[in-house]
Amino acid sequence: MNNPSPMTERREPTISAPILKRASGRCLVVHDDLELRLRLAALVRRAIPKMDADCLSTASFDALAPDRVSGYLALLLIVEFSLRDDAADPLARLVRARGQAPQMPIFVFARGGDERNAARTIKLGANDYWPIHAVKIGELTEVLRPLAEPVRDAAAASTTMGATTVTVDSWRQPQIGGYRVLKTIAQSTTAAVYLARNDELSQPVALKVQALRGHVVTDADRQRFVRECKILSSLNHRSIADVLDYGITDEYSYLALEYFPCGSLRDRLKNPVSEADAINYARQIGEALQVLHAAHVVHRDLKPSNLMLTDDNRVVLIDFGSATVQREASDLSRSDLCTGTPYYVCPEQIANRDPDGRGDLYSLGIVLYEMLTGALPYQGENLGEIFAGHRSSPVPRLPRHVLRYQPIIDRLMAKSPDDRYPSATLFLEDLSAVSAPIRTSVDGTRPMGVSNT
């Protein structure tokens, strides 16, 4: 973030100040570090010059009455994620604020968080999440602009159909013909996923919805959504999410997928995964990639939160919003990296080169390593350190009890695509051979790929 201007007002509103009256055209920044919250407030003013920001410490914010909180256009919470087991829940304030102001946009800026924290933050009601060191002025402008110009947005979000005017409110639950929304599963600034029922379908569905007009939906967002529908509809495999329905209304585009009540592999990794489960999951992911790559589709965002689990221990690949058809050129921008997760991104993607199927296999290698060890291979305090690990750090060694999978991990996570498996099929062949019961051959040697240590 940029340093605040020397002219930045450093005094903070007191508890007794008439905050509600001043809140029109203002958002609220909350954190205990005065310098940090003033820097974020300054970035808000740069993003939207007509918008201002009040800054409060957490104690001052906690003392605010709910009506004062809901009087702001948006709440910007800077959250500190601690590694201490006895630390208070850093997202408790988010939960309380969401309960006080159900319709208010809440944006979380995290220090020390990882992808698990990001997923939990969105589940608990945040509208968007950024690592504090990776906030981009363009992204902040995109989410704040509709809030700063409600009159213009309301006009832009209305269309006249005969004598009826339809106004789109991106924050309310959608009205999709034939579907009854039960609850919100996840929500971002561009789309939301709901648990829903349809009278013609026997099971509940995950209904992914994107508003066509209004709140920060760009042409790229729409194109990504349509691409996901087309890709998923063209595939048929037990390890790839089934598309039950999709379409476009006057207000929304929507995609109905099978619902996975057991959660994601990310949730499963909160507890240790057995070797047998890790290999079983890796095999299923590899089979899904076989189907994708045969259709010339590259997922580009393979990670545990995009791998859902069923009650029969089946793993299913979802979220094709970042996928590309391999034969088509795509413009990979820096923001595309943010649609994936830096812990699972391949080196060529970091270098702004389009990955082919071998990029998905690299991400699978990261996932397999994490399942076998319970830890990520490359970590860091910021994106630069994480990316440096992907680009130049040696592939870490597996623990002794699973060391026989090291040759597979080494090949999956090779820095150069040319040194990786050329196909998911060859990966599956090696995985099958190495994970088979260890037997000693006639000459007393162990099968290839099995460590003697």
DSSP class per residue in 24-74:
TTEEEEE-S-HHHHHHHHHHHHHH-TT-EEEEE-HHHHHTS-HHHHTTSS-
Q: What's the pLDDT tens digit per position in 43-86?
A: 888 888 888 888 888 888 888 888 788 888 899 999 988 755 56
Q: Which residues contact 59 (CB under 8 A, 6 or more apart)?
A: 32
Which CATH number is 172-258 given?
Answer: 3.30.200.20
pLDDT at residue number 217: 58
Q: Output the six-digit token pair for 46.
A: 């740069």
* CATH number among 1.10.357.10, 1.10.10.10, 3.40.50.2300, 3.40.50.10420, domain 19-150: 3.40.50.2300
Q: Which CATH architecture has domain 265-435?
A: Orthogonal Bundle (1.10)
What count of Cα atoms within 13 Å lies in the side-chain half-sphere of residue 360? 30
**Ordered DSSP codes for 426-444:** HHHHHHHHHHSPP---TTS
Q: What's the pLDDT tens digit per position in 375-405?
A: 999 988 888 889 999 999 999 999 999 999 9
Whether residue 278 contacts residue 248, with contact meaning beta carbons closer than 8 Å, is answered with no
Q: Considering just the CA atoms, what is the radius of gyration of the chain in Å?
A: 24
Catalytic residues: 301
Q: Where are the domains of the chain?
A: 19-150, 172-258, 265-435
Q: Which of 8-12, 117-121, 213-217 has the highest mean pLDDT?
A: 117-121
pLDDT at residue number 183: 79
**Residue 386 vs residues 84, 371, 372, 379, 405: alpha-carbon distances, Å:** 22, 19, 20, 5, 23
pLDDT at residue number 231: 75
In this model, does residue 367 exceed pLDDT 50? yes
Q: What's the pLDDT tens digit per position in 171-222?
A: 456 778 888 888 777 666 566 788 888 878 777 888 888 776 554 556 776 6
Average pLDDT over every residue of 140-154 = 66
- Distinct helix (H) and strand (E) counts, the chain: 17, 16
Residue type, 59: A
In this model, does residue 291 exceed pLDDT 60? yes
Instruction: Using a pLDDT cut of 70, give the percent of the chain over it.
Output: 75
pLDDT band at 38 (very low <50, low <70, confident <90, very high): confident
pLDDT at residue number 255: 83
Q: Which of 15-19, 91-95, 245-249 has the highest mean pLDDT?
A: 91-95
pLDDT at residue number 190: 61
pLDDT at residue number 277: 93
Q: Using CA atoms in the order 46, 47, 53, 56, what is the torsion angle rounded to 10 degrees?
A: -90
Same fold, 172-258 and 265-435: no
Q: Which residues contact 318 (CB under 8 A, 6 or more apart)?
A: 241, 257, 260, 306, 307, 308
Average confidence score pLDDT of the chain: 77
Whether residue 211 contacts residue 167, with contact meaning beta carbons closer than 8 Å, is answered with no
Cα separation, 344 vs 319, in Å, equals 15
